[in-house]
Amino acid sequence: MRGKIKDKLMGFISIFAMLLAMCFIISVPQGHAALSFTEQTDADFDIDEDVLDVAMGDLDADGLNDVAAIVKTGSTYKVRIWENTSSAGNASFAASNVVYSSASRVLNKILLANLNSATNANTQNDIIVCANYDGATSNQQILIWKNPGKDAGTVFADSWNTGSPNAMFGGVTSNINDIAAGELDGDSGDNYVDLVSANGASVIARQNPSDSAADPYSAGNWTTSSTLTGSKNNVTAVAIGHINGTNDSYKDVVIAYNSVATTANLVAYKNPTTGAYSGNWTTAKTFAGVGDTSTRYTSLVIANREGSGDTDPGDGDIFTTRGQADTASQEKAVKVRKNPHGSDPFTAGTWTTETIVSTTSTNAYLYNEVALGDFTPDSNKYPDVVWGVDANGDALAITEAEESTSASAYGNAFTPGGLNAVSCKTVATGFVEEAVSGNGKIDFIAGYTSDGDVGQEIRVWRNDAGTTNATLKAKSFKAEKKAKKIALRWTTASETDSASFTVLRSEDNGATYDVTVGSVDAKGQGGSGAKYNLSDSDVTRGKTYNYKLQEIDLSSNTSDLATLKVKYKKAKK
C-alpha cells in the first residue's frame, strides 16, 4: 500500500515538474540582446573646444557620413568638418577643417542639407548655421555655405566660399534659435528642401527658390516666405514632418516656445497644402503647457513611434527633450507625444504621452537633444532613442540610449561610463562604417564640453548590438558531465539570419569568458529551429565552469543568448 502511494506521489511530482517546465518555456523566449556600443577613439576629435552642436551627412559624395560641428573656445565660435575615412570594422576620421571662425557671431545650430539637388539629396550636402550677433539687435542671420564639390572644388580644404558664408535673411531682430529642412510645398517632382526657422517670437517658413530655377545661395532669391505663428515669446525649437496622416510632400511643422508668464508649450501646425507661404497655417493642435517659466523644450523630432506596424506612416509622433536651467523641482524629461492615429490629430484625436526618462532633481538639469535610429534592426522598425544630458551637480553627465522593445515601451538602456564633470550638449545618429544608404545597425556620435576629463570632445559609438535571430527555448542550453569532458547541447526555436554559434568558457564565475570552446555553423535557416552540440574536453574535476552561448548573424553581429554554470565533480562512467 505504502509503495502504491509513493508511486502515485512520484507520478504527480513528475507531471507537476513537466507542467512547470512547459510554463517556463513559454514565458522566457528571448528577442533582442541588450544595447551595446563600442567607442571608436580618434585623436582627430581631441580638439579642446566645447562642442555645441553636431550633424552627420555626406559632404564629398563618397557614400559615407561625414561630421560637422559648431565648437567654441573662449569667445570664438567655429564651424568644423571631419572627413569620414572609415572602412568595414574600422571607424576613422581625418583631421578637421575649420570652415568658419568668428568672435562676433554666436553660432548655435548646424544643419546639413542639399539645397540645390533633387536627384542626389543625400550627397554633397551644404552647411546651414543659425548665427546671432553678440550684443546686436538687428542682424541675426542664417549662414549658408555652398558645398564646393558642386563647383569642382575640394570639399575638405579651405574652399567653402573661401571661408565666407552666404549671409541669408539678415535684419532679424530676435535670436534664431533653431532651423529645420524639409518639403513644405508639395513639389514632389523636385524635392528641393525648404527651411523653417525659429526667429525669436515667431516661426518663418521659406520656399527654396530652386523650384523656379533660381540660385538658392543668393539671399535675395528666397523671396517667398510666411510667418506661421503670432507672437510666441521665445521659440526654442522647430521640426518638420508628417502629422496629419498623409505621407506626402506637404509636411507639417511642430514648434516649442516659452510663455514668459507661465510654461513651456508645444504646438503642431497643419500644412495648408495651398498658400504655405501666404500665412495660411491656421489649423493647429496646441498641447497643454508644462513646467514653469524656467522650463523649456530643447529639441523636437517627428517620427513614427509605431514603426512599420503603423498602417499610415504619415501619422507622425513628436519626440521631445526638455529641461530647466535653475534649481526648481519641475520635471525634466525625454518624452514622446503619440499621434491619435485614425482621428484628426489637429481637431478631434486624443494624443497620449509616453515618458522615456524623467527626473525632478533640483539640480539644474537639461536634456539637451534627442536623436532617433534603429539600433536593433527588426521587422517592426520601432525608433530607438539617444539623448545628451547636461546635469550640473551630478557626478556623471553622459549620453544615454534606449531600445524600443515594443510600440509602447522602452528598455535595454545603454549608458557609457568614464566621463566625469562634462556635459553632453548634442547627439546625432547615422551609419559610420557603412554607406549612407546602408541597412545595418545605426551608430551615434556625441559632442561634449571640454572641461573635466573628456579627452575627445566628439565621440563615435559604434553599434555592436543586434536582433537575436535565434529564439531559444528555456533550458535548451544544457550540460552533461561525462568522463573527461562536459557535453554541451542547445536547441533553437527559430532562426532567420543566423550564421553560426559559439560557446565561450569562464573560470572566474562569469567575470571574463576568455576561452573559446568551439563554434558550429547554423543550420536552422528560413525560420526553423535546430539542435546543436559541442564538447569541452579541457576540464578538471572539482572545478566550476561558466559557459556562454553566442549567435553570430550573417552581418557578423554577435548576440549573447544564454549562460550556464557547471560544477565538474563526478564524471559519468
- Using the 8-state DSSP alphabet, how is residue 192 labeled? P
8 A C-beta contact, residue 304 and residue 315: yes
- Using the 8-state DSSP alphabet, how is residue 177 labeled? E
How far out from the chain centre does Cα 468 lie? 20
CATH architecture type of domain 59-83+95-368+393-403: 7 Propeller (2.130)
Q: Nearest-5° angle of CA 361, CA 454, CA 81?
A: 110
pLDDT digits (tens, 9 = 90+) for 432-479: 887 776 656 788 888 888 765 556 788 888 887 544 445 554 446 888
The pTM of this model reads: 0.74
Say what the pLDDT of residue 279 is. 74
Cell output for 223:
523671396
CB atoms inside a 10 Å sphere around CB 309: 12
Q: How many helices (H) and strands (E) does the chain have?
A: 1, 36
8 A C-beta contact, residue 182 and residue 241: yes
8 A C-beta contact, residue 142 and residue 126: no
* Mean of pLDDT values over 376-396: 64
How many Å apart are CA 425 and CA 446, to the nearest integer?
8
- Using the 8-state DSSP alphabet, how is residue 23 labeled? H
Higher per-residue confidence, 171 vs 131:
131
How many Å apart are CA 507 and CA 342, to the nearest integer?
56
Give me the percent of the chain exceeding a pLDDT of 90.
Answer: 18
Q: Measuring CA to CA, which residue among 204, 258, 269 is closest to residue 235? A: 258
DSSP states along 278-289: TT----EEEPPP
Question: pLDDT category, 94, cuts 50, 70, 90?
Answer: very high
Cell output for 90:
574600422
pLDDT digits (tens, 9 = 90+) for 284-293: 999 988 887 7
Cell output for 429:
545618429
Say what the pLDDT of residue 302 is. 92
pLDDT digits (tens, 9 = 90+) for 528-561: 778 899 999 999 888 888 888 888 877 676 777 7
* Mean of pLDDT values over 198-221: 83
Q: Is 187 exposed, middle or buried (0-12, 13-18, 19+ CB in 10 A)?
A: middle
Higher per-residue confidence, 323 vs 144:
144
**Which residues neighbour 201 within 8 Å (Cβ) at sequence distance 6 or greater?**
174, 231, 232, 233, 234, 235, 257
8 A C-beta contact, residue 68 and residue 57: yes
Which CATH number is correct for 468-568, 2.60.40.2060, 3.40.50.720, 3.50.50.60, 3.30.590.20?
2.60.40.2060
Domain ranges of the chain: 59-83+95-368+393-403, 369-392+404-467, 468-568
* Mean of pLDDT values over 64-93: 90
Q: Do domains 59-83+95-368+393-403 and 468-568 have the same CATH topology?
A: no
Rounded to a whole number of angstroms, the distance between the first and last alpha carbons of the chain is 36
8 A C-beta contact, residue 240 and residue 180: yes
What residue ranges in 304-452 does DSSP mark as E strands?
317-324, 332-338, 352-359, 365-373, 384-391, 400-406, 409-414, 424-430, 443-448
